[in-house]
Amino acid sequence: MATTELYSHFHPDEHRFVDKAEDWIRRAADQHAVKLTDFLDPRQSFIVQSLAGRSGDVRVRFDGGYEQAERKRAIIAPLYSDIEAEEANVGLLSITSDDAKFSQLDHGDFLGSLLGVGIKRDKLGDIHVRGDGCHCLVAGEIIDYVHLNLRQVSRVRVFTETLPTEKLLPASQTFEEMYLTVASMRLDGIVSDVYRLSRAKVLAPIKSGRCKVNWKPEEDPSKPLREGDVVSFQGFGRFKLLEAGGETKKGRVRLKIGKFV
């Protein structure tokens, strides 16, 4: 278990993951074991990298199947190891259909159906949705299981195929852009404007840990956001603060927001 001093650098909701990461690093350093993790989000990757740097006795490599991956597996190995030779075991699953309704499916439809075959979110990497198909990065140890069991997505019949990761066709990141003017850069104010909710309706969810800023739980409604921040609000999706700058005559700040679609 991590020390109280170490815990102080992380949100309480992250302490369990910090303990796991500390154990992985300790085993790699003391028992010369190589650890391949499940897929980590960017915040978890940051925690692993921070703890590994603090240790100084291990090496870490991240691999999500392609260079720009958001979700990645970590390989944690002893300092002397040839970490580049270690296999990250990331597979690529192609999902297609001959049903006209297929093009109407979105990221949430694919994620829900993939989880519906009985796997955990940690076994899935990035999901790239295009009108003519969907490419999913999947942990190699379960990709055959998913290939055999995924037969429909949101009631649409689908066909699956495993491919080399070099065949990945990434989907361009799509934002629904919106422009706002806000009195301040406070988290609660921007979230309420983006999702058209009253300030009162966003306060309780934020204080209860249902909001993350850059994948880190944020319970302070007054937290000031900065350009480039990614905010997820449970049940509503996530958005990125694309631009912040310029004031109106009334002193309000102009924002450009990108809602992930």
pLDDT tens string for the chain (261 positions)?
Answer: 666 778 888 888 899 999 999 999 999 999 999 999 999 999 999 999 999 998 889 999 999 999 999 999 999 999 999 999 999 999 999 999 999 999 999 888 999 999 999 999 999 999 999 888 999 999 999 999 999 999 999 999 999 999 999 999 998 777 889 999 999 999 999 999 999 999 999 999 999 999 999 999 999 999 999 999 999 999 898 999 999 988 888 889 999 999 987
Q: In the listed set 116, 146, 167, which residue is the last one of a domain according to the structure?
A: 167
- Determine the residue type at 65: G
Phi (first) and psi of residue 105, to 5 degrees:
-75, 150
Residues 25 and 50 in one domain: yes
Residues 234 and 213 in one domain: yes
Q: In the listed set 167, 188, 205, which residue is the last one of a domain according to the structure?
A: 167
Report yes or no: 191 and 231 within 8 Å, Cβ to Cβ.
yes
Residues 179 and 256 in one domain: yes
What lies within 8 Å, CB to CB, of 21 at 6+ separation is: 44, 47, 48, 51
Query: In the block, which residue shows the tokens 């049940």?
Result: 235
Report yes or no: 147 and 161 within 8 Å, Cβ to Cβ.
yes
Residues 246 and 215 in one domain: yes
- Determine the residue type at 141: E
Q: What was the pLDDT predicted at 1?
A: 62
**CATH code, domain carrying 52:** 3.30.1370.160
Q: What was the pLDDT predicted at 131?
A: 83
Q: How many CB atoms lie within 10 A of CB 13?
A: 12
What does the DSSP assignment read for 171-190?
PPP-EEEEEEEESS-BHHHH
Residues 94 and 81 in one domain: no
Q: What was the pLDDT predicted at 247?
A: 86
Q: What was the pLDDT predicted at 2?
A: 62
Specify whether the backbone of 251 is left (phi greater than 0), alpha (psi in -120 to 50) or beta: left
Residues 73 and 10 in one domain: yes
Q: In the listed set 126, 145, 167, which residue is the last one of a domain according to the structure?
A: 167
**CATH code, domain carrying 246:** 3.10.290.10
- Determine the residue type at 6: L
Give the residue among 239, 179, 236, 192 at the shortest CA–CA distance from 213.
239
Phi (first) and psi of residue 79, to 5 degrees:
-60, -35
Residues 183 and 256 in one domain: yes
Query: 3-state class of 116 per DSSP?
Result: helix
Whether this prediction's pTM lies above 0.85 is answered by no
Residues 18 and 45 in one domain: yes
Q: What was the pLDDT predicted at 129?
A: 93
Query: 3-state class of 243 per DSSP?
Result: strand
Residues 42 and 72 in one domain: yes
Domain containing residue 213: 175-260
Per-residue CA distances from 191 to 29, 43, 108, 257 (Å): 43, 20, 21, 11
Tell me the C-alpha distance between 210 and 172, whole Å.
Answer: 27
Which helix H or strand E contains 61, and what residues bound it? strand 58-63
Residues 61 and 129 in one domain: no
CA atoms in the 13 A half-sphere facing the CB of 148: 6
Tell me the C-alpha distance between 137 and 81, whole Å.
Answer: 26
Work out how many domains the chain is built from and give that number.
3
Give the residue among 185, 167, 190 at the shortest CA–CA distance from 259.
190
Encoded tokens for 231: 């905010």
Residues 75 and 120 in one domain: no
